[in-house]
Amino acid sequence: MADKKDKIFSFVVVGGGIAGVTCVEQVSKTLEEFDVKERPSSFLEEKFPSLTVIHSATLKTADGHVYGYEKLCICSGGRPKLLTHDNPNVLGIRDTDSAQEFQKRLAKAKRIVVVGNGGIALELVYEVEGCEVVWAVKDKAIGNSFFDAGAAQFLIPALGTNKPERAVPCKRSRYTTEEPAPWGTQVFTAGLCHTFMEKHNATVVVLQRQAARSALIGMKGSFYKEQSRVLLEYECEVERILPLEEPVQPESGDSWPLHVQLTNGKTFGCDFVVSATGVVPNTEPFLHGNTFALADDGGLQVNDHMMTSEPDVYAAGDVCTACWERSPLWHQMRLWTQARQMGWYAGRCLAAQALSEPIELDFCFELFTHITKFFNYKVVLLGKFNAQGLGSDHELLVRCTKDREYVKVVLSGGRMLGAVLIGETDLEETFENLILNQMDLTPYGEDLLNPNIDIEDYFD
């Protein structure tokens, strides 16, 4: 028997995260005069007779109700891409419940293993206190999803015990073979940057960490009351999580509920593992009976109007993959800011279609921008901040002042294509404009990062 539609709505938005909420706000704001109310199913069937036979025009909720819609926007986010789903000692962090579960387990933990090299791992290793942390990083430097090895090298001391009292400008950067400019800025090519990464094929660093912040703030384990240690294991992944019954050589007499073997041959005992290994778009509830076109990363493909391949179905946020012809300076990352921008724009697209008005791709998709905090430093990422997709056709300008700031600019053909700004650099607005207006910066050379020149005035 066919499902009976309980209600028919003009708009249905699935998901109460940032994308969904922003989408709803935007639709209702744009359509203040538009009557967004329940209608009898006959209304829709009269208006769009074909809709009754299109399965995707109804939405069935877990409590068995079936809702009809004229336009649907899926904002169901992502779910953690865990190392394994069938081990209760491997946790992911996504929402309040999983964060609470993590905190509960951490309160009793002496050592945890954190796997992954992205946003969550960066936040976690910095915030966890009173518990030893083994951080297994599959790359040669930390924070690979967000920045390069130079930035990682700048940030690493923030995990250390002996923070210098005063920032000392580094006259000679350690990670280049070229002569520095007198004030410490250096130019090196992508090749040299890679050489730097090769050189820093670090092994194990034992570090202590300090402050706590953000949603993951105040996460305390039970072991070391005053300090915690971060053991950084580079270039390795989890080989396997040993079954409880498998005998393991005891390390210093400790017994652990869990042992993790890494691909570098080391085995660590721990209380539990945090799998901070990315997200997968949460599409699964919507695939049955539909033929959504999916992108390589599993997201619902959306066009420049946030429309999926299914009629009248839109998507925004982590669940979708931007498949329009993108600006060369924008790329998708599953971030709060982008989810909000997509939700906002999807709401406008829904409203525009309902009002039969044209709409153009929003300007926020012109340039990638992300502002966040890692290791207590402000971090601003602009455009092709890691020279993504540029191959060797670029050069980098770097200015670094230990414990104060790290500034990297990506240039190609004299034009600025991206930047990484760590610390209170005050350069974001100027650089954003320089990237957007694609001015030829060749005449300025290395002076672009000369700290003795007020760059804002310069380009005013």
Which of 80, 81, 93, 114 has the alpha carbon at shortest distance from 238? 114
Residue 103 makes contact with ligand FAD by CB under 6 A: no
* 386 token code pair: 């890691």
Residue 237 makes contact with ligand NDP by CB under 6 A: yes
Q: From the list ligand FAD, ligand NDP, none, pick the one residue 185 interacts with, judged by a Cβ distance below 5 to 8 Å according to partner type.
A: none
- The residue with its CB nearest to ligand NDP is 118
> Residue 122 or residue 302: which is nearer to ligand NDP going by CB?
122
By the 8 A CB rule, do 90 and 122 touch? no
* 112 token code pair: 């945890």
**Contact code string over 145-164 relative to ligand NDP, x by CB under 6 A:** x-------------------
Q: From the list ligand FAD, ligand NDP, none, pick the one residue 307 interacts with, judged by a Cβ distance below 5 to 8 Å according to partner type.
A: none
> Residue 228 or residue 338: which is nearer to ligand NDP going by CB?
338
- The residue with its CB nearest to ligand FAD is 17
Q: Which of 68, 116, 119, 278 binds ligand FAD (CB under 6 A)?
A: 119
Residue 266 makes contact with ligand NDP by CB under 6 A: no
As a dihedral over the C-alpha atoms of residue 424, residue 428, residue 429, residue 434, rounded to 10 degrees, the angle is: 140
Q: Would you call 319 helix, strand, or coil by DSSP? A: helix
Stretch touching ligand FAD by CB under 6 A, among 133-141, 223-231, 237-245, 332-340:
332-340
Residue 299 makes contact with ligand FAD by CB under 6 A: no
By the 8 A CB rule, do 269 and 258 touch? yes
Residue 197 makes contact with ligand NDP by CB under 6 A: no
Q: Which of 99, 192, 294, 333 binds ligand NDP (CB under 6 A)?
A: 333
Q: Which of 17, 77, 269, 278 binds ligand NDP (CB under 6 A)?
A: 278
Q: Which of 24, 93, 258, 427 binds ligand FAD (CB under 6 A)?
A: 93
* 94 token code pair: 């996504």
Kindly provide the residue ranges of all beta strands, DSSP E only, lying in 29-110, ordered along the sequence: 58-60, 66-74, 78-80, 90-91
Residue 66 makes contact with ligand FAD by CB under 6 A: no
Bridge pairing between strands 204-209 and 313-315 = unpaired
Residue 100, C-beta contacts closer than 8 angstroms, at least 6 positions apart = none
As a dihedral over the C-alpha atoms of residue 314, residue 319, residue 323, residue 324, rounded to 10 degrees, the angle is: 50
Q: What residues are paired with 294 via a beta bridge?
A: 300
Q: Which of 334, 340, 399, 408 binds ligand NDP (CB under 6 A)?
A: 334
Residue 400 makes contact with ligand NDP by CB under 6 A: no
Angle between helices 18-30 and 336-354 (to 10 degrees): 30
State the residue for tokens 């380009």. 459
Q: From the list ligand NDP, ligand FAD, none, pick the one residue 115 interacts with, judged by a Cβ distance below 5 to 8 Å according to partner type.
A: ligand NDP
Residue 210, C-beta contacts closer than 8 angstroms, at least 6 positions apart = 163
* Contact positions vs ligand FAD (CB under 6 A): 14-20, 75-78, 93-94, 119-120, 282, 285, 317-318, 334-337, 339, 372
